[in-house]
């Protein structure tokens, strides 16, 4: 089953590297072809808000992947503390629950009006054994469905899920839902610590708005060419 989107599926570079110097070199190496950058916990804690302003000044859109997960009041205060940052998407853990998600959605309208909130469902590094080991008896697809529906019902803008769950979720969630998909590996690439993966073309066909890709670009001797090849695969 193919779910073609009206808008083009875009690549987000996961800028998860060991130093700010390397991150800056990657940004230069990918050139103008790169529009979106994901800043995760490692980079944000190391390099701070100033680095996000630097990236934004360079013409990139920022996806801040902090996966906020705490009591509702603390999550709301965290969103308030991010209000001066140039971010377009921000992640929360859906397992924080509907009260936290609803309050965060309200807070975002006030403090981050130009930012989409995305709910993380089940991490793409987890398989069924991992899920069972933390006391969740649901099968992964059922757990993802449950968390995604709860998040959208709580007025969250979009969902982060593995590409394998995309085709299940697209038909049951509103058309306005933004889908951001990690666990993307070009054909022939090593999967690394990702357990639920698809190729860029498969994920785009399944309905992803954004594909989060790191190692296949970061590890390339020519990151700009690697990015071009991935985009060409999406568009074929």
22: annotated active-site residue: no
Contacts of 64 (CB under 8 A, 6+ apart): 38, 39, 44, 52, 82, 85, 87, 89, 90, 91
**Which 3 state secondary structure label does DSSP give 37?**
strand
φ, ψ of residue 64 in degrees (nearest 5): -95, 110
Going by the DSSP 8-state scheme, the letter that residue 70 receives in this structure is: S
Q: What is the C-alpha to C-alpha distance for residues 75 and 33, in angstroms, rounded to an integer?
A: 34
Contacts of 182 (CB under 8 A, 6+ apart): 14, 124, 160, 162, 194, 212
Neighbours of 126 (CB within 10 A): 17
**Residues 67, 88, 139, 195: which is the catalytic one?**
67
Going by the DSSP 8-state scheme, the letter that residue 136 receives in this structure is: -
Active site residues: 67
């Amino acid at each position: 089953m193919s779910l073609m989107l009206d808008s083009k599926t875009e690549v987000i570079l996961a800028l998860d590297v060991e130093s700010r110097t390397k991150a800056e070199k990657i940004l230069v190496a990918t050139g103008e072809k790169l529009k979106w950058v994901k800043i995760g916990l490692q980079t944000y804690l190391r390099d701070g808000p100033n680095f996000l302003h630097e990236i934004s000044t360079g013409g990139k859109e920022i996806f801040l992947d902090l996966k906020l997960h705490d009591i509702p009041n603390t999550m709301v205060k965290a969103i308030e503390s991010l209000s001066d940052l140039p971010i377009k998407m921000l992640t929360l853990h859906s397992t924080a629950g509907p009260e936290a998600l609803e309050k965060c959605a309200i807070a975002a309208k006030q403090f981050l009006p130009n930012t989409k909130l995305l709910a993380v469902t089940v991490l793409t590094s987890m398989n069924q054994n991992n899920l069972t080991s933390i006391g969740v008896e649901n099968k992964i697809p059922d757990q993802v469905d449950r968390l995604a529906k709860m998040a959208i019902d709580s007025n969250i803008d979009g969902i982060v899920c593995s590409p394998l769950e995309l085709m299940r979720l697209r038909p049951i969630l509103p058309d306005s839902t933004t889908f951001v998909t990690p666990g993307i590996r070009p054909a022939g690439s090593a999967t690394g610590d990702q357990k639920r993966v698809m190729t860029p073309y498969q994920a785009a066909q399944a309905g992803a708005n954004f594909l989060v890709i790191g190692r296949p670009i970061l590890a390339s001797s020519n990151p700009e060419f690697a990015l071009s090849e991935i985009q060409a695969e999406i568009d074929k």
